Amino acid sequence: MTYQKIKVEALGGTIGAEIHGVDLSRTLDNQTFSEIRRAFDENIVIFFRDQNITPEQHLAFGAKFGDFDIHPFAAGLPEHPEILPVIREADDNVRGFGNGWHSDVTFYERPPLGSILYALESPAHGGDTMFANMYQAYDALSDGLKETLDGMTAIHSAGDTYGAKSDGAGRPARNKSMNIRYGDDAEAEMEHPVIRTIPETGRKALFVNRTYTKNFKGWTREESRPLLEYLWNHAIKPEFTCRFRWRRGSIAFWDNRCTLHNAIADYNGQRREMHRVTIIGERPYMARGDNAPGVAAA
């Protein structure tokens, strides 16, 4: 199918596309929205350039995709708690929020469908974000490993990142402009299938990440580590990735269910400010059979 209302320009060989011909400060007609949604499903991360939107317009666009999440450990804007400011000041010598390959808040029962990140201020150089395609990561596994993983469950937790008792090694570094909370509630654990099915496409995606996936159900962390390390490293092979260079007015909208992303912290001495809106997703499941409806992991 061709696009009639938008232009879609591929950014990477297997993931990512820039969308042209859309002004997100305006109300979208049904066909334009439908084409944006199709481009999102097909490319799993889409980008818009030269946008000038208010917080209200940011929220209006996000609301077309679902209800909003409010991050439990990072404070949103006082007047719009659904909008998370992601800021690193020029004199902050920290690695930055979102640095390191991960999928957002997979310790939730219903991890996000995706996030819409808007650049208000970006470095003159550096500060790119990389994305990796978890459909491709799954497809490239051997048949034997697919068979092993298809029935497995993983344990996810924010304890190492936001837990009050963590040693700080996994924590996002504190900076001058983000209000990060640490607490015992971060120690809670959630079970998700290692391989999940994305309902809109019916495709399988690898669903583990270094930040929040701790071990396989029924396995110790020590036993789980070698296989998890293999999967984490496999998932970010260059052929599964694309890289986006930000400038003021750029927007990235990624499918958190079947991508990983990494905000590269290589812009010391420069300020970066983003606003993020996150859309609540479904409980992860893996469909059984070719077209059978799936059920969430217990």
Listed as ranges, residues in the chain with pLDDT below 70 are 94-96, 166-176, 289-298
Instruction: State pLDDT tens for residues 272-294.
Output: 999 999 999 999 999 976 444 43
Q: Which of 58, 71, 88, 102 is catalytic?
A: 102
Q: Are 205 and 199 in contact (CB under 8 A)?
A: no
Judged by DSSP in three states, 216 sits in strand
Q: Which of 192, 261, 272, 275 is catalytic?
A: 261
276 among known catalytic residues: yes
H runs (alpha helix) in 205-254: 221-235
Single pTM value for the model = 0.93
Instruction: Say how far apart CA 24 and CA 27 lie, in whole Å.
Output: 7
Q: Are 214 and 132 in contact (CB under 8 A)?
A: no
CB atoms within 10 A of CB 281: 22
Query: Sign of the CA dihedral 256, 64, 243, 203?
Result: positive
Q: pLDDT value at position 295?
A: 37
φ, ψ of residue 142 in degrees (nearest 5): -65, 155
Q: What is the largest CA-CA distance in the chain?
A: 54
Q: pLDDT value at position 178?
A: 84
Q: Which of 92, 104, 160, 255 is catalytic?
A: 104
- Print burial letters for 191-216: b (CB count within 10 Å at least 16), e (below 16): ebbbbbbbeeeebbbbbbbbbbbbbb
102 among known catalytic residues: yes
160 among known catalytic residues: no
At 4, the amino acid letter reads: Q
Q: Are 260 and 209 in contact (CB under 8 A)?
A: yes
Q: Are 156 and 103 in contact (CB under 8 A)?
A: no
67 among known catalytic residues: no
Q: pLDDT value at position 174?
A: 56
Q: pLDDT value at position 209?
A: 98
3-state SS track over 54-105 = CHHHHHHHHHCCCCECCCCCECCCCCCCCEEEEEECCCCCCCCCCCCCECCC
**Residue 13: C-alpha distances to residues 7, 43, 146, 297 (Å):** 17, 10, 23, 32
Domains of the chain: residue spans and CATH = 7-296 (3.60.130.10)
